Chains A and B, each alone.
Chain A
Amino acid sequence: MLRLENVRKRFGDQEILKGIDLVIENGEVVVIIGPSGSGKTTLLRCLNFLVRADEGNLWIHDRKVNLAAADRKTILEVRRSTAFVFQNYNLFRNKTVLDNVTLGLIKGRGTARGRAEEIATAALEQVGMKKFMARYPNTLSGGQQQRVGIARAVALNPDIILFDEPTSALDPEMVGEVLDVMKGLAGDGTTMLIVTHEISFAREAADQVIFIDEGVVAEKGQAEEVLAHPREERTKRFLRRLLPDSAA
């Protein structure tokens, strides 16, 4: 189980996160939705210390980590038990596809190269990118890059994978291939926290949906419940704008 408690963050005089609480069970897929600028990316980044929260706790492995005050060693440990899939992939440009996936294993976790390559090959196979192993990222399409990005996260076998709008930088025809990979992971019981605007994906793959608005959790619950029968007026408004022709 992973738990976030009272996460707060301000940039300048703007309060972006106003005390977020959230619980994710092992094997659960949680989707975060919410309007642009509501703080979704900031929340994921706080969890991984890419942004330093002003306040808040993270429970991981029955261990309490202070997001505002964790030291270097703790930060490294948290990062080594989580993985991040970025909106614009952020594959290492100076490394081949294979090396992109093995880097964290070899340098971060001290896995022997041979073993790391076995793990990486399996992960690339899983996302259908094994035959591109020797290529450099800039020779791949966006969808292919993002699938490698997912393999890079999966290979680390983390407690949770954080996805920040993994398909929103993609051309429409490539969205499907990435979402299919993610559905596969959901089926395998991978714990995932996903920020996305893909409502039909959320309906299909998510256990829990959280609607964040202006830095607070405005509504949360079972995916079907929140997406099809939202209680809050602002959730309804947001979904209507996202799905103009749906009944919600």
Chain B
Amino acid sequence: MSFQFDFPFARRAFAEALLGIPVTLSVVLAAFLAGFPLGFLIARCRLRRTPVISQILTVYVSFARGTPVVVKILLFYSLLPPALEHAIRVLGLNFSIYDLNPIVYAFIIFGITSSATYSEIWRSALNGVDSGQYEAAVSVGLTPFQAYLEVVLPQALAIGAPAFCSSTLSMLKGTSVVFLMAILDITGRARLAAAMGYKYLEAYVVIFLVYLTVCGILEQVFKLLEQRLVRFRAS
């Protein structure tokens, strides 16, 4: 096996991989938009020990967190389409599920996973806000909702911010498995280029560098956001 690194090919693969960035980011964004508020609601229900719902959510969270994303993808991707197809046929709709962009599955799978991960962060963050803060807020005449909005939530966000950032970054890296569903994200694009040129080493180095750069940039963005958001020290 010769170890000739083909730079011109790597450059082409790099350009190709860059095209996958919006796809990768859209999966992360969709998962965040769904998972962040859902995670909050899950955390609230579990902290309040709402009967039944709280137990169901505990099971949901441990399933969602206790199984690798790859397994969820393989399972969903082989289970969901036939099931949906059946449902569509029963409903008599004129629509083929196989026309559906597989990225929708990625949104669902990562939405579920991140809602569970974020809910755990919300839970410890909300727990980290001293109950006296809420009591003081209602004692000055705020409604419970206002007390949450003005006092508890901003402090919980500040406490959870580092964990929210790092789990979002690891989710971004984790989305690289969506190529299994033939989605052309960063990994998918580069693998496609590799397969066409039979140059896997170059493509993998390219993938490596692209993730490194994207994560690096995102980390800086998060840091700036955190600084703007949290002008006080939470504890």
Chain A residues proximal to chain B, CB less than 8 Å:
48, 50, 76, 79-80, 82-84, 86, 88, 90-95, 103-104, 107-109, 136, 138, 152, 156
How far, in angstroms, from A86 to B134 measured CA to CA in the complex?
Answer: 12
**B132 engages A94 (CB within 8 Å):** no
Interface size counted on chain B using CB atoms at 8 A? 23
A107, B150: Cβ atoms under 8 Å?
yes
How long is the Cα–Cα vector from A199 to B54 in the complex, in angstroms?
A: 49
Flag the segment in B29-37, B93-101, B137-145 that touches A: B137-145
Binding stretch for chain A, among B3-11, B151-159, B196-204 = B151-159
Interface of B is mostly: helix
Interface stretch (choices B45-53, B176-184, B208-216, B227-235): B227-235
Contacts of A95 in B (CB 8 A): 151, 232
Chain B nearest Cβ from A152, distance in angstroms: 7
Q: List 6 A-B contacts (CB under 8 A).
A: A90-B132, A93-B232, A94-B154, A95-B151, A107-B141, A138-B232
State whether A83 touches B139 (Cβ < 8 A). Answer: yes
Instruction: Pick the residue among B138, B143, B146, B155 that contacts A94 (CB under 8 A).
Output: B155
Interface residues of B in 217-235 (CB under 8 A from A): 231-235
Nearest Cβ distance between residue A56 and chain B, in whole angstroms?
Answer: 19
Chain B contacts for A152, CB-based, 8 A: 140
- Contact flag A80-B136 (CB < 8 Å), given A93-B232, A93-B235: no
Q: Which residues in B have their C-beta under 8 angstroms from that of A83?
A: 139-140
Tell whether, in the assembled complex, residue A90 and residue B140 are in contact, meaning their CB atoms are under 8 Å apart.
no
The smallest beta-carbon distance between B196 and chain A, in angstroms, is 54
A90 lies within 8 A of B233 (CB): no
State in angstroms the CA–CA spacing of A86 and B133 once bound together. Answer: 10
Considering the complex, give the chain A residue whose CB is closest to the CB of B147.
A107
A104 touches B142 (CB 8 A): yes
A103 touches B232 (CB 8 A): no
Contact A79 B150 (CB under 8 A): no
Distance in angstroms between the alpha carbons of A80 and B130 in the assembled complex: 22
**Residues B234 and A93 in contact, CB atoms below 8 Å apart:** yes
Q: Mark B109-141, 1 if CB is under 8 A from A, else 0.
A: 000000000000000000000101101111111
Asked if residues A80 and B232 are in contact (CB atoms below 8 Å), the reply is no
In the bound assembly, the distance between CA atoms of A103 and B140 in angstroms comes to 8
Docked pose: A109 CA to B139 CA in angstroms: 12
Contact across chains for B141 and A90 when beta carbons are under 8 A apart: no
CB pair A80–B234 under 8 Å, yes or no, is: no
Name A90's contact: one of B133, B146, B232 (CB within 8 Å): B133
Give 8 closest A-B pairs by Cβ, nearest first: A108-B141, A104-B140, A90-B136, A80-B141, A90-B132, A84-B139, A94-B154, A136-B232
Contact, CB under 8 Å: A109 / B141: yes
Q: Which residues of chain A have C-beta atoms less than 8 A from B150's C-beta?
A: 92, 103, 107
Residues from chain A with a CB closer than 8 A to the CB of B140 are: 79, 83, 103-104, 108, 152, 156
List residues of chain B with CB within 8 A of the CB of A88: 132
- Write out the residue numbers on chain B whose beta carbons fall within 8 Å of the beta carbon of A76: 141, 143
Is the CB–CB distance between A156 and B141 below 8 Å? yes
**A109 vs B235: C-alpha distance when bound (angstroms):** 29
Contacts of B141 in A (CB 8 A): 76, 79-80, 104, 107-109, 156
Asked if residues B139 and A48 are in contact (CB atoms below 8 Å), the reply is yes
Residue among A76, A94, A104 facing the most chain B CB atoms (10 A cut-off): A94
Q: Given the complex, which residues of A lie within 8 Å of B151, measured CB to CB?
A: 92, 94-95, 103
Residues of A near B234 (CB, < 8 A) are: 93-94
Quote the shortest CB–CB distance from B149 to chain A (angstroms): 9
Whether B142 pairs with A107 at a CB distance below 8 angstroms is yes
Task: Determine if B142 and A86 form an interchain contact, defined as CB atoms under 8 angstroms apart.
Answer: no
